[in-house]
Amino acid sequence: MKKLLACVLSAGILFSLAACGENGNGGLSELPTYEQDKEFLIGGWDVPPDTENAFRIASEMGLTFMFMNATFAGYGTDRYREMIATAGEQGVKSMLMFGNGQNQPQNAYEWAAAYKDDPNVIGVNYWDEPSVPTLDSTIKEFAKWHNAQFAGTDKSFYVNLYPTYVSSDVLKGSYDEYLETYAEIVAGAETGTSWISVDYYPLKLAASGSTVDTGWLGNLEMLAKVRKDSDIDTFHSFLLSTQHMDYREIEEEDLRYQAWVNMAYGVNAMTYFTYRKSLNESFSTALVDMQGNPTDKYYDAQQVNKELHAMENVYLSFDWEGVYTVTGSQNEYVDANGVSDYFRRLQYSLNSLEGVKSVEATQDTLIGQFRDAEGNKGFVVANFADPYYGKESADTVTINFEHANRAIICRGTDVKTYEVTDNTLTLDLQAGEGAFVVPVWLNR
């Protein structure tokens, strides 16, 4: 199994994260700091057996919640309630499963309402991939009921949307209409946090071994724009962790890669699909087996989760503003203008980055631009090259800032501050790697 190579930075470690300062003389007197009170939501799809040990294993992997389906405990039963309590005792919250039109439990309203005051429940998943007419009718009614039933609580209303590659015949409308309709529904959310969610699995089988779906980024940017325009709190995405259909097998670098690309678009909640080995025999190995015992993949995901949780207090202190794309100098698949095939159809990419003079990269690179409450800029720098190809996918990114002599960098499990020389920072990113960078001009 491939292992993550050591990080390389062409800047020296200066000191650890220090105290926050005030703007002055064109810079800061002290480095920014961020409250240690945030949590990256990391979920699992397909629950393990409803035992204390199974949920302890999930918690130790870094999961914070799970979509609680009825594989081991029927909806609305005493055993289902005990499962939610057992998971909660191990630090794993629950997203209730209301049904998806094909598997809606009997007396769904009554049993879901019983969890109004349950501290182990974060929300209710009302539907998976509704069409435009379903959004405009059934989902609107669910939203009204949710707002009334869970008024005054922290329970979120959740629906997972179709990806862009679904035909208009399935959507029964255009994708723009689809997102507009959903945004109108979420705008009326009165309880919990508002969510927008999609499941787009980009890593596909190919004659060469792997290819990245060219539609993935377009889907992410559409949802990111709707999320920003509608002021939606939570942008949730599913991570492919189990080989199935025409999706390829997944290793640690692939999980990390999906996470960083999603974060470039402001995603702040992710769920592994699947966590437990699927009952569908065509699905490959998941993160745990049918009994909830770890597989090799479990430890890959555990490492990635450690990295996400290590940076959560910094990353989650910033609001997403947009994505700037950099075509890699080693990329041969470009159009007549020298733009990567993956980037040329994007509609909402930034034309420049605030406070940045120039960026160069050897591989296709995404740079997500963010801003914190004090106006400081943050940048997700994500190596977009397919990690399947290992060392061939290594990326060297050089960023020339307008005014920076320090950079707080979240990478791996480290949050450290580095000295920046001549306003220039170079990051050597291995396959699937990324970094969150906060450039600072610190008054000397």
Pairing of strands 8-9, 424-429: antiparallel
Quick one: pLDDT at residue 3?
Answer: 35
Is residue 103 very low, low, confident or very high in pLDDT (cuts 50, 70, 90)? low
The domain total for the chain is 2
Q: What is the overall mean pLDDT for the chain? A: 92
What does the block give as tokens for 274?
A: 């699947």
Which of 176, 183, 65 is CA-nearest to residue 120? 65
Same domain, 18 and 72: no
Residue 9, pLDDT > 90, answer no
Reported as a single tens digit per residue, the pLDDT across 33-67 is: 999 999 999 999 999 999 999 999 999 999 999 99
pLDDT in tens, 310-338: 999 999 999 999 999 999 999 999 999 99
Residue 391 maps to a domain: yes
Q: Residue 172 sits in a domain of what CATH number?
A: 3.20.20.80
Last residue of a domain, which of 278, 294, 315? Answer: 315
Q: Which of 259, 280, 315 is at the close of a domain?
A: 315
What single string gives the DSSP state of each residue in 222-243? HHHHHHHHHT-SEEEEEEE-S-
For residue 34, the model assigns a pLDDT of 97
- Position 210 in a domain: yes
pLDDT band at 104 (very low <50, low <70, confident <90, very high): low
Residue 123 has pLDDT above 90, yes or no: yes
Higher pLDDT, 1 or 272: 272
The pLDDT of residue 195 is above 80: yes
12: confidence class by pLDDT, cuts 50, 70, 90: very low
- Full residue range of the structural domain in which residue 414 is found: 8-36+318-440
Residues 244 and 290 in one domain: yes
Given pLDDT bands bounded at 50, 70 and 90, which one contains residue 99? low
* Residue 3 resides in a domain: no
**In terms of domains, do 362 and 284 share one?**
no
> How high is the pLDDT of residue 24?
38
In a domain, 1, yes or no: no
Same domain, 269 and 371: no
DSSP symbols for 356-398: EEEEEESS-EEEEEEEETTS-EEEEEEE-S-GGGGGGG-EEEE
State residue 26's pLDDT score. 67
Decide if 339 is inside a domain. Answer: yes
Residues 327 and 431 in one domain: yes
| Reported confidence tier of residue 360, pLDDT bands at 50, 70, 90 | very high
Residue 429 resides in a domain:
yes
Please indicate, yes or no, whether residues 111 and 246 belong to a single structural domain of this protein: yes
At residue 408, the 3 state secondary structure works out as: strand
Return d(Cα 395, Cα 433) in angstroms, integer: 9
Let me know: does 41 contact 270? Beta carbons within 8 Å.
yes
Please classify residue 24 by burial: count the beta carbons closer than 10 Å to its beta carbon, then call 0-12 exposed, 13-18 middle and 19+ buried: exposed
| 422 falls within a domain | yes
Quick one: pLDDT at residue 441? Answer: 97
pLDDT digits (tens, 9 = 90+) for 363-414: 999 999 999 999 999 999 999 999 999 999 999 999 999 999 999 999 999 9
Residues 347 and 287 in one domain: no
**Contact call for residues 200 and 329 (beta carbons, < 8 A):** no
Q: Is residue 14 over pLDDT 50?
A: no
Size of the chain, expressed as the number of residues it contains? 444
Q: What percent of the chain stands above pLDDT 90?
A: 88
| Domain boundary pick from 286, 315, 344 | 315
215 in helix, strand or coil? coil
pLDDT at 13 over 80: no
Is the same domain home to 262 and 142? yes
pTM over 0.85: yes
Within-domain flag for 2? no
Domain identity same for 76 and 131: yes
Residue 253 token pair: 């670098």
Lowest mean pLDDT among 126-130, 307-311, 437-441: 126-130
Asked if residue 394 and residue 329 are part of one domain, the reply reads yes
What average pLDDT does this structure show over 132-139?
94
Asked if 31 and 127 sit in the same domain, the reply is: no
Shared-domain flag, residues 19 and 101: no
Rounded to the nearest 5°, which phi and psi values hold at 93?
-80, 170
